[in-house]
Amino acid sequence: MEFGCMDAQAIAEGLRSKDFTAREVAEGALGRIESVDASINAFLEVTPDLALSAADAVDDAIAAGAIDEVGPLAGVPVAFKDNMNLTGTHTTCASRMLEGYVSPYTATCVQNMLDAGAIPLGKLNMDEFAFGSSTETSAFGTTKNPWDLSRVPGGSSGGSAAAVAAGMATITLGSDTGGSIRQPGCFTGTVAVKPTYGVVSRYGVVAFGSSLDQVGPFSRTVRDAALAMNALSGRDPLDCTSQECSVDFTSDLNAGVQGMRIGIVPEFMNAKGLEPEMRAAVQEAAEKLEAQGAQMVEIDLPNAAAAMSAYYVLGPCEAFSNLSRFDGVRYGYQDPGHKDLNSQDDASRAKGFGPEARRRIMLGSYLLSAGVYDTYYYPAQQVRTLITQDYTRAFEKVDCILAPVSPRTAFKFGEVSDPTTMYLSDIFTISINIAGNGGMNMPLGLGADSHLPVGCQLIAPPFRDRNMLRVAAELERLYGSASVAPRFAEKEE
């Protein structure tokens, strides 16, 4: 039996009725990775021993009559972006700097998924240290979009998105600093959730921008994403930014949108560069939601246009600080044959980091230097406050915001070579990382022109992520749940 298209609920029901075992699920998922991933390169490391061991633990619990104790994700195949530590695996961040680095402990987000009964399949490709929007900066090869192998899956969590879109995993985890969950979700037609900052612990996740990063799930159904959120969320004493979050993210999925106020941002919908089919997809979603009883409300985010400028000050500054530890002495590649520490450090970092990582490190170094800091960093923090206040005022009027995710559908490899143009891929997603709100991609089928996945972004007030999941569940009823990319769905028996 193939399990690539099954969701978590179907797996749970099959285990309960003993139609199959968790070990069969694990073996099926591992076999699918072996047959499919050579054409996609989503996985940097596959973990059959960990997967089968976890599956056997689930089967043993079921045999002992303790199925209710094994967790809500029992037997569900999952995989993790390779900036998340997992004991028994490598954590490379898709960089030569950390090639061969062995995880000394397990990240809290990963452990929470394992505690919920999930089966760990391995570690997933990404842009190097999460610097990118296409997974083209990985030191270990690009990941291909399952919908069109000549196109990117988005980034930086491209491997996480592609693994779900190709039916190799039911749920994967990614991280989002400026759109790195939502944009690849849009490009691959997957449900992709960036929770409110603080809902999920960042402990054990290699940091890019500590005030911006947040971990979240990819899936093919809204319910699977909500189940993953239930497992992931909550206060972690190892992460001082994490918050108590004792809510059931599945509780409002059947509530519909009758009476909900949903915001539309004219500045986003009329933005220069937004392709017609992306605009049309969001407009159609708005019309469908209105027909189901939602009230569409125009809202103003006057400082959102400054989000990109603020982000590319704050992000590189935090990246420069976080990556300073990778010097070949404390962590990372150590270039041989040097007689003094300075030359060894320079050579190790020059050879260990790729071009995009070096670009952001150098930019952060400049922005934090004497005489420059007051000119850029302090104003960027002021802009951050203004953007946060804009969202606060907006959410006094609406329960959720509907917006584009990306200006365009997935582009071809090498098509976007200019760094500035690449950065604009996140023009609609960056502002909520700055403000800290929750946001997600909800697939809306295929674009009328490109016949590639399109989606909409749903944005929630802080710590009210259930609002966006509620709207997403209604859209899923209207559009259908996300599917495995056709060329890989054909491999199902």
Catalogue the active-site residues.
Answer: 81, 156, 180
Distance CA 477, CA 468 (A): 14
The closest of 176, 128, 95, 133 to 420, measured between CA atoms, is 133
DSSP-derived secondary structure for 204-260 = TBPPS-TTT-EEEEEESSHHHHHHHHHHHBS--TT-TT-------TTTTTTS--TT-
Distance CA 469, CA 457 (A): 11
Q: Helix (H, G, I), strand (E, B), or coil: what is residue 447?
A: coil
CA 100 to chain CA centroid, nearest Å: 24
The closest of 437, 352, 368, 363 to 398, measured between CA atoms, is 437
Distance CA 4, CA 2 (A): 6
418: which residues sit within 8 A by CB, 6+ positions away? none
Range 411-432 burial, b when 16+ CB lie within 10 A, else e? beeeebeeeeebbbbbbbbbbb
Specify whether the CB–CB gap between 116 and 145 falls below 8 A.
no
DSSP H helical segments within 335-463, as ranges? Answer: 341-352, 355-367, 373-394, 419-423, 430-435
Distance CA 194, CA 243 (A): 15
Distance CA 382, CA 373 (A): 13
Specify whether the CB–CB gap between 103 and 66 falls below 8 A.
no
DSSP H helical segments within 43-177, as ranges? Answer: 48-63, 108-115, 158-165
The closest of 350, 356, 296 to 327, measured between CA atoms, is 350
Strand ordering across the sheet containing 171-176: 43-46, 119-124, 77-81, 171-176, 214-219, 191-194, 438-446, 453-460, 400-404, 261-264, 295-298
Other CB atoms within a 10 A radius of the CB of residue 493 amount to 6
